[in-house]
Amino acid sequence: MSGGEFDLIRNYFRDATAQREDVVLGIGDDCALINVPAGKHLAVSMDTLVSGRHFIAEVDPVSLGHKALAVNLSDLAAMGAEPAWVTLSMTLPDADEVWQQWLASFMQGFSALAACHQVQLIGGDTTRGELTITVQAHGFLDRGEGLRRNAARDGDQIYVSGTLGDAGLALQMQQGRQIKVNDSAYLKHRLDQPTPRLALGRDLLKYATAAIDVSDGLVADLRHICTSSGVSAVVHVEKLPLSDAVSHYLNESGDWALPLAAGDDYELVFTVPLERQAAFEAVITQWDLRCTWIGSIEISEPSSQVKVVLPDGKIIDEVSGYDHFNA
Amino acid sequence: MSGGEFDLIRNYFRDATAQREDVVLGIGDDCALINVPAGKHLAVSMDTLVSGRHFIAEVDPVSLGHKALAVNLSDLAAMGAEPAWVTLSMTLPDADEVWQQWLASFMQGFSALAACHQVQLIGGDTTRGELTITVQAHGFLDRGEGLRRNAARDGDQIYVSGTLGDAGLALQMQQGRQIKVNDSAYLKHRLDQPTPRLALGRDLLKYATAAIDVSDGLVADLRHICTSSGVSAVVHVEKLPLSDAVSHYLNESGDWALPLAAGDDYELVFTVPLERQAAFEAVITQWDLRCTWIGSIEISEPSSQVKVVLPDGKIIDEVSGYDHFNA
């Protein structure tokens, strides 16, 4: 990180995030220096958001700052990791007053979410070009722990947190599609300011085998688990947890592809072995965040299929998810 | 890092870098998991290269792959850190065959340099958009160590590695300026495939106080040290180490701004306290990489000036370096 151009971000960000004791040297030198606790794995995840692809150019910058951090913290959540530090690279079209104001707003959303999770920004880069945001998040896991995609086994039960399709429906409305819903503000919030399920991820270390966050769509992301684990999945559409708004929309439209294929909800989908299911069902009754059973893992040929059971009992086995290069 | 789109890079990169024992989980899950040795700081540095700003669109992708990694390893070198892992986010205009071939070439240069330093690629992201490359490099330092920008003191002696102005002269030629030089291939190599001075950085932990890599230009980067340390610097132009090609060019043109202000050489400029200078001068006679005395640190008001002594004894105190937002 060369110093001169980073002053731009430093002005908006120094002291804006939590100051952590394990940060030896933060923003402003060639490198940041940090201390990882003994006995921990360091978990790292990097995600890039590009204007016009991952968000619209007119997006509220406060929300975008939240989301840029949230999607990375969501990857830590899907491993069960505890977040610690982040780096941020911003490519901005200009450094004039308009963009400085934009950046101040972006940082407001970014730092508010960082504060919620005691996350410190330790460095990064700023360059000029098409608006592009890259964040790398760093967190801890006890050695030997971690919810991996390859850990699902025959007979595991599949659960998902929260509700599905909210962000997808908001995206359709943003794209100009006329849809009658009761609570468009709720849907917009779900799209613009997703909640990384960090506490859930850590709690799941005791119960779950595999986990992934729903960024590309339930079926697409579940297929990653199936591919990595060499298994298949059966998902019951009628069991999918839906908000009132999406439920109402589905009743009118019959568009079941929405909660199956739409991305951006950043809920966790995960597998629980049969022998832990009773304990898990007992404990989730205490949790504020709903976790819903939606299906099970099986061994079938070819493996890595996700079979979807429709309300009429019909089974389909191909639902496309979001792909950044085909969308 | 969502899985689907990263397959693109994974195809070109899995197993292409060193496989390190401290990598618990590499490319392909929500996070990578790594183990940092006990008693070490983790050093991290993130740099972004944008097409048309940091490199020309027609650049040889093999060289660009080398350079994208080299500029990040250079930041580790400037702290004295030992490199370990990298993450890579690539934003590509397309995923068609032309770009896949381009990516394969990029990865060839990237992985060749990674192999030289036992560096493993552990994750990242791929997205579609304007060609933009973000790399984060991770390395180790013994706790309490590290060459910091704020550590220069009154009376320290200033040294620089290698030669200055080579990349800057190559850049001028690339931009179409007609310059007669004997060794344009050498200059082009210095611009396109800089060598991160990692071994030097580690050796300097015993001798130097402050260090920085010359990415924005000698004066601009030395000014970062001065600003952080609250000191000023005096640099003698006649002492600047020059290649034969740059020396020849300067004799013809008198363009002393080149080695003072041109960036991209990725040499290290660093400060050695007077009491260690004799030992340092003795040891560098053994080194393959030349280190040259160019001036000294002093206390003067205002601080953070870099004063340049010209061959005729005249002193100038303002030489501009490269700035990504003003260039």
pLDDT tens figures, B294-312 = 999 999 888 889 999 988 8
Range(s) for CATH 3.90.650.10 in chain A?
Answer: 149-316
CATH architecture of A149-316: Alpha-Beta Complex (3.90)
Q: How confident is the model at residue A323 (pLDDT cuts 50, 70, 90)?
A: very low
Which pLDDT belongs to residue A6? 44
Give the best residue of B21, B46, B87 to mutate against chain A (max A CB count within 10 A).
Answer: B46
Q: How far apart are CA A217 and CA A322, in angstroms?
A: 6
* Residue % of chain A over a pLDDT of 70: 92
A159 pLDDT higher than 70:
yes
Q: Which residue in B125, B213, B228 is closest to A46 by CB distance? A: B125
Annotation: CATH topology of A5-142: 60s Ribosomal Protein L30; Chain: A; (3.30.1330)
How far apart are the C-alpha atoms of B94 and B219, rounded to whole Å?
A: 39
Confidence at residue B320, expressed as pLDDT on a 0 to 100 scale = 53
Predicted local confidence at residue B312, as pLDDT:
86
C-alpha dist (Å) from residue B90 to B17, B48, B271: 17, 10, 36
Confidence band of A17 (pLDDT split at 50, 70, 90):
confident
Residue B245 clears pLDDT 60, i.e. is over it: yes
pLDDT for the residue A1: 38
Q: Confirm or reject contact between B54 and chain A (CB < 8 A).
A: yes
Q: Which two tokens stand for residue A242?
A: 């839906």
Tokens of B294: 């160019």
Q: What is the mean pLDDT of residues A56-67?
A: 94
Which pLDDT does position A318 carry in this prediction?
66
Give the number of C-alpha atoms closer than 13 A to the C-alpha of residue A149, restricted to the C-beta side: 28
pLDDT band of residue A135 (cuts 50, 70, 90) is very high
pLDDT tens-digit series, residues A198-213: 999 999 999 999 999 9
Instruction: Indicate the average pLDDT of chain A.
Output: 91
Q: What number of helices (H) and strands (E) belong to chain B?
A: 10, 13
Task: CATH 3.30.1330.10 in chain B: give the residue spans.
Answer: 5-142
Interface check for B136 against chain A (CB to CB < 8 A): the answer is: yes
For residue B141, count CB atoms less than 10 angstroms from its CB and return exposed for 0-12, middle for 13-18, buried for 19 or more: buried
From chain A, the residues in CB contact with B35 under 8 A are 41-42, 143
My answer on whether omega of the bond before B302 falls inside 30° of 0, hence cis, is yes
Centre a 10 Å sphere on the Cβ of residue B32 and count the other Cβ atoms it contains.
26
Question: Can you give the pLDDT at residue A319?
Answer: 60
- Give which of A2, A85, A229 to mutate to test B binding, by max B Cβ within 10 Å: A2
Which residues of chain B does A36 touch, with a Cβ-Cβ cutoff of 8 Å?
Answer: 36, 42
**Considering only alpha carbons, which residue of chain B is nearest residue A149?**
B29
Contact A30 B45 (CB under 8 A): yes
Check residue B323 and give its pLDDT.
44
The answer to whether A261 and A219 have CB atoms below 8 angstroms apart is yes
Q: Is the pLDDT of residue A325 over 50?
A: no
Chain A CB contacts of B306 under 8 Å are none
Residues 223-262 of A with CB under 8 A from B: 224, 228
Q: What is the arithmetic mean of pLDDT over B138-157?
A: 96
Average of per-residue pLDDT across B280-285: 96
Binned at pLDDT 50, 70 and 90, residue B326 comes out as very low
Extended beta strands in B65-131, E state? 82-92, 120-128
Average pLDDT over residues B234-240: 96
pTM comes to 0.92
CB-CB: which of A87, A126, A221 is closest to B136?
A: A87
Q: Which residues of chain A neighbour B45 with C-beta distances below 8 Å? A: 1, 30-32, 123
Determine how many CB atoms are found less than 10 A away from the CB of residue B189: 16
Indicate the Cα dihedral angle B142, B144, B147, B153, nearest 10°: -150
Whole-number percent of chain B with pLDDT over 70: 92
